Structure 1
């Protein structure tokens, strides 16, 4: 029997013909064919043969390095992914080097961007060559961080910054202007993209996002989504498409959609032991009286499910008024929540601005005289405030439950302790920056740099 070399459960591979100096692979004898992460895949003809161009980001969570590869297409195969879904994948053949051994290997081109490893080494590559020791790692060859930095030094682009897309609707808004200023101040290129002027090509081999006039959007490192409520559905579809193309989106489509559905968000908060004002929801107007009693009676708050910036929020001061408003909404098939009114808050609430698991700024908002909501867009006044440790924990937990990297978390102080009002996935910057003096736009840009492991020279 041929003596086989021992290989670990994780190994470094080198692809000399494709110009990849080192890529970490998960060794998986359960998979027949090896696969590699590939984006921007394009099939073309070279003479009588089909070839394929594609890009590989060989280092996990580092999209600043993209190696352009070129290989002959040898097959198209139906492959079942780890989620159990079958999909057609392109197959190429190229030499791979593991330590001192070099041999031909078949690779399927796959989107492995969400996987821990950018490559999977299957059993076809292992057969008659290696025996796997799952308890070992890098038995063939290992690279220290200093070696990797040296190896990949020629592949770093000379540009000093990232290319960022600001996906929103109005370039003149304070928040959008500040984000552009902050990104440019740190040496990045930032482009404003109007949500409604972008469109998608859905295709397994070459998905795309295009913009007004047919320009293909394929060079962005990150997207900052600031989606207004009226375009939530389409905006989230675009964010999912960017994510499918391997672009980092500061808030995911799923997180934004959850935050915009106040009923679903409230259910998630309740499930995760996050205290909110007592909230009720019903479809039929037949039990309106019991719904009102359930939230401790009037005065109470009535909210449209997709209200934002204080719009679509009503205070009903008596049970009779509450019944009238609730039944009026239900007569036009509008979904609403009813919520207990926290009288002791005296028209005040707290906005905590969360960025990547940290409260970077907090302000107190005071409602205008005669109003019950302390929303700046409705005439409320803002001032800096020092929040308690309990309030900080509440804000961070709420953002985490919705999986939001950037969030405006609204909290109200009550006799029962701090209560969560709601979480905004596209929080405004003007009020809180002016009230606190904090450069929140810069914090958001720095969070993107950290996520992409980009070292700014600014």
Structure 2
């Protein structure tokens, strides 16, 4: 026992044969086998033996560094994770250096993105070599940030473009994939960040935003927020935190919040002389009859305040039906707007896509037969349209009032002229790009470049 060295709860490890000059490990005597973060794992044949090629991102806070490694496969082993889930892992054997000691170690290759450390040092590596003192760290060797930067200098990419975060929920959506394609085509580095996998540290001295696995999100130049309605509150909190860290957000949290509050947005539009269909709002069922009368009676539109993409929008064709629906919603404390029905629109509306004070594309949407409202998410058809000067002016003014750099502005043509229906702060790209042939994703990226005064 007297010959055993003291090891801390965290230690720096070196793997010379794998080409890893330094990786921080959590020392865990409760785990039998050690493991290391590995991605892009491939089994290959080499000299009649099975070998494994894989990549290691050794720095927890930097996913852009990936070291290509290879080692002989010695086993496949069922391993139970800390969450109790068993999975098969590949096992390799390679020399490890801890301080002045070098010896062979077995490593399982694992996805440790959700873990705090890129490596776990288990008890097989500790037996008859070390005694663990969990109260201390880095007893065998310690590296300063300057040394780590020197080790990994060959792997750091020279920055030639902007570093952009796409803050959304689904990387497979057409709009999100197009934005990533457009950013990369213009030479920028872009990362998809899932809203619900990011979290923040509120502190006067060192505020942070972190991503699942403890990755600190830093050095971003811009954030493109595409927040779905169900995570508006949390998404906007993250946007404010990015803004506090000095990152440009293409749409601000305040602008998104205003656009999602249909009542508040309608009040802003009225206050800025933007014409909308006559709209009513009331709390008590005692006022329902007058509310219906106020918007010129049935047929009329009833909208949930939280509705999106045409969901939660009802056409009441008679006063009696309208009264029943309105009172039903009120009985369960659901906030609604009551709005006049523009019959002459014939189920058509116009979507104008605004980017930085310019209408970059516009399309006409036609409701499918039997529907009263155009919505391409529900079978409506889209076609290119040339908007009038008044419609263009209305779209730009609506986006400006809400302070949105990117907006989908919906307009309806009436006998009184163009009327504003609503403004979407995360407008979809698929329908309008397909209908118009315009590269809107590219326009969004170019707008960020212009705002940040970036030139290639």
Please classify the TM superposition score into its range, dividing by the shorter chain length: 0.5 to 0.7
Partner of 2:360: 360
CA distance in structure 2 between the aligned counterparts of 1:452 and 1:362, rounded to whole angstroms: 26
Partner of 1:252: 252
Superposed, which structure 2 residues align to 1:19-58 within 5 Å?
Answer: none
Partner of 1:161: 161
Partner of 2:337: 337
Deviations 1:363-420 (A, max 9, x none): 0000000001101111110000000000000000000000000000000000000000
Which is greater in Rg?
A: 2
CA distance in structure 2 between the aligned counterparts of 1:190 and 1:204, rounded to whole angstroms: 28
CA distance in structure 2 between the aligned counterparts of 1:345 and 1:334, rounded to whole angstroms: 28
CA distance in structure 2 between the aligned counterparts of 1:195 and 1:159, rounded to whole angstroms: 25
- SS at 2:190 equivalent: strand
Superposed, which structure 2 residues align to 1:343-422 within 5 Å?
Answer: 343-422=343-422
Partner of 2:307: 307
Q: How far 1:160 moved relative to its partner? A: 1.7
CA distance in structure 1 between the aligned counterparts of 2:213 and 2:332, rounded to whole angstroms: 40
Partner of 2:233: 233
Task: Provide the TM-score with structure 1 as the length reference.
Answer: 0.65
Q: How far 1:178 moved relative to its partner? A: 0.2
Partner of 1:282: 282
Deviations 1:20-71 (A, max 9, x none): xxxxxxxxxxxxxxxxxxxxxxxxxxxxxxxxxxxxxxxxxxxxxxxxxxxx
Structure 2 unmatched ranges of 5 or more: 1-156
Q: How far 1:337 moved relative to its partner? A: 0.2
Q: How far 1:206 moved relative to its partner? A: 0.6
Partner of 1:184: 184
- SS at 2:307 equivalent: coil
CA distance in structure 2 between the aligned counterparts of 1:290 and 1:240, rounded to whole angstroms: 41
Superposed, which structure 2 residues align to 1:118-197 within 5 Å?
Answer: 158-197=158-197
Partner of 1:452: 452
Q: How far 1:171 moved relative to its partner? A: 0.4
CA distance in structure 1 between the aligned counterparts of 2:455 and 2:401, rounded to whole angstroms: 29
- Runs of at least 4 residues off by over 2 Å: none
Partner of 1:292: 292
CA distance in structure 2 between the aligned counterparts of 1:332 and 1:235, rounded to whole angstroms: 27
CA distance in structure 1 between the aligned counterparts of 2:159 and 2:219, rounded to whole angstroms: 13
Q: How many residues align?
A: 300
CA distance in structure 2 between the aligned counterparts of 1:356 and 1:393, rounded to whole angstroms: 14
- SS at 1:306 equivalent: strand
CA distance in structure 2 between the aligned counterparts of 1:240 and 1:435, rounded to whole angstroms: 34
Q: How far 1:159 moved relative to its partner? A: 1.9
- SS at 1:170 equivalent: coil
- SS at 1:445 equivalent: helix
Partner of 1:215: 215
CA distance in structure 2 between the aligned counterparts of 1:160 and 1:447, rounded to whole angstroms: 18
CA distance in structure 1 between the aligned counterparts of 2:299 and 2:307, rounded to whole angstroms: 19
Partner of 2:263: 263
Q: How far 1:219 moved relative to its partner? A: 1.4
CA distance in structure 1 between the aligned counterparts of 2:249 and 2:381, rounded to whole angstroms: 32
Q: How far 1:246 moved relative to its partner? A: 0.2
Task: Provide the TM-score with structure 2 as the length reference.
Answer: 0.65
CA distance in structure 2 between the aligned counterparts of 1:344 and 1:279, rounded to whole angstroms: 17
- SS at 1:305 equivalent: strand
CA distance in structure 2 between the aligned counterparts of 1:212 and 1:369, rounded to whole angstroms: 46
Partner of 2:75: none
- SS at 1:373 equivalent: coil
| Superposed CA RMSD | 0.7
